[in-house]
Structure 1
Amino acid sequence: MLVYFAATYLLIIAVSFALIGAPEIESAVYATVFLVTVLVGLVIAPITVETITRGRSVGKVAVGARIVRDDGGAIGLRHALIRGLSGVIEIWGTLGGLAILLGLLTPRAKRLGDLMAGTYSQYERVSRRPLSPPLLPWGLDGWARVADVARLPEGLARRVAQFLHEATQYEPGRRAGIADELAREVVPYVAPLPDVPPEVLLTAVAAVRRDREARALALEADRLRRLGPVLEGVPHGFPSR
């Protein structure tokens, strides 16, 4: 908000200096130019930035967030346009008060523009601290051998890993709420479902996916090692150059 407001203020000053030398211009024209300048700085500029950057802005870069569709895909002009137009009321009209209120009342902290456009803000900054690998919970060895655990979307897998790493830092109520929300998103990728609490399910899914991906990488490395002589060698009798 500060960046857009400052840019709009500077743009108004520049336009005012440009019109000083034209005293014959009527006051209605001045008012129209002023309104268009404010519209460009506070509405069109944010819409353009979000469209070009696929959901990023100065503020979102600062906090490591991005606006995405409800299905996790990148937003387009239509989504940015709806968000930008609604921002006139909920951001500039109420100084962000309405957006904060709606964010507190919606599951994914959506503001009015997000509800209308079908988008939400996703935290995507990866922590530089190495995440400790999850261990398969006790009693789920049999389930892990037969479970069909599909590959999770990148954003969902990152949020699950981050939650498991920081779960002990949350208050019990918030910890259970986040685990329940993430588990509902993970359920479509798991069959059969073990009869365990949400956080245990997340831990088990993360452990199974880690073990299977590690085995797949090990098999790939072994195949490449055995193919090494063929890939790096030359045909029999081919001159060495």
Structure 2
Amino acid sequence: MSGLVTGDAVVLGLHPARLPSRALAVVIDLVVVWTAYLLVSIGLAVATAALDEAAVMAVSIAAFLLVLVGGPIVVETLSHGRSLGKMACGLRVVRDDGGPVRFRHALVRGAMSFVEILLSFGVIACIASLVSGRGRRIGDVFAGTLVVRERVPVPRGATAVPLPPPWLAGRFGDLDLSAVPDGLWLGIRQYLTRMGQLDTGVSWSMAHRLVDDLVARTGTSAPQGVPPAAYLAAVLHERQARDARRAFAAAGTAHVRQGAGVGPGTVHGAFPEASGHGPGGGTAFAAGHGGPVSPQQQPRPGRGSGTDTGAGAGPGGDTGGGDTAGPVRTTGFAPPA
């Protein structure tokens, strides 16, 4: 992998193309270009049959330069560094800083390829590519370009977001994440999935920058002593947990509204996850009574208040018989045996 550094001090993970893949791409391009040149030559030979020898020679030289030299320049400029051979081999021509090539880069590369590839049958280009540490030929050196691989195998597990440390789980439940844009979440996720591939100094600076952006959006400073990457992982995990809770709550509400398990004696919306109550708190059903639960039957709020269903109870609550017709008063503790 190439250690190119941009003006923002960001290390680019470019993979320079080596001689075998570049040679195959050049062969494909030469086959296409020479086929086009032969077709153009046949057409010009028919069209210039009435001209003298000097005119025919001038037209042939112009066709040679336009097709064999100008054609690759135009294709490389319009496709931003991807000719037919490079697309087939998964290669692309980029600038030294990783940006797309312009017309001037393609012009220098095309002019030098006339000497490196056409006149010397590729010998000069092969020698220069073997000598260069990044597989560059002379045209790349003069143009300030580099041929890189686009199709790079991704390591297994590289796209998995690391889990936060256990001592940070649930610590940011009160953090306001409504003002954090999706672009910042995407940047945090991409950083967490690739931080092991970055340089240590660059990874540390990127983590601090993302933490500063997150703090500016949430209005709450990061805890002292927490590593930036661990803080980002914990906040991202909290956001994913909230999205999961909202999704499950919406799915449960839609299930109830469709009539699944809804009878004349069921109190609608009695989902502990959706209402914010913990297990055994504030959920009342009147299964088998045929009507709503009276206020006297509601469990008292607090720790250990049970769930009155007529056939069972929640943790720490009273247990009523399934045939009980009168109101059941919840005392909050179990009667003595």
2 CA distance for matches of 1:76 and 1:67?
10
1:65 to 91, 98, 110: 91
Q: 1 or 2, which has the higher helix percentage?
A: 1
State the number of aligned residues: 169
Give the structure 2 partner of residue 218 of structure 1: 237
2:123 to 74, 78, 97: 97
1:82 deviates by 0.7
1:189 to 202, 221, 226: 202
One-letter code of the match for 1:218?
A: H
Matched, 1:9 2:38: yes
Deviations, residues 61-88 of structure 1 (Å, cap 9, x unaligned): 1211100111111111111111011111
- Over the aligned positions, Cα root-mean-square deviation in angstroms equals 3.6
One-letter code of the match for 2:83?
A: S
TM-score for the superposition, normalised by structure 2:
0.43
Correspondences of 1:84-123 after superposition (within 5 Å): 84-123=110-149
Deviations, residues 16-70 of structure 1 (Å, cap 9, x unaligned): 11112x2xx2211111100111111111110011111100011111211100111
1:223 deviates by 4.3
TM-score for the superposition, normalised by structure 1:
0.59
Matched, 1:131 2:155: yes
One-letter code of the match for 2:44?
A: V
One-letter code of the match for 1:39?
A: L
1:33 to 37, 59, 81: 59
One-letter code of the match for 2:40?
A: L
Deviations, residues 110-149 of structure 1 (Å, cap 9, x unaligned): 011100011111001143xx62237xxxxxxxxxxxxxxx
1:42 to 47, 68, 72: 68
**Whose RCO is larger (CA < 8 A, sep 6+)?**
1
1:227 deviates by 6.4
**Percent of residue pairs identical:** 33
1:95 deviates by 1.4
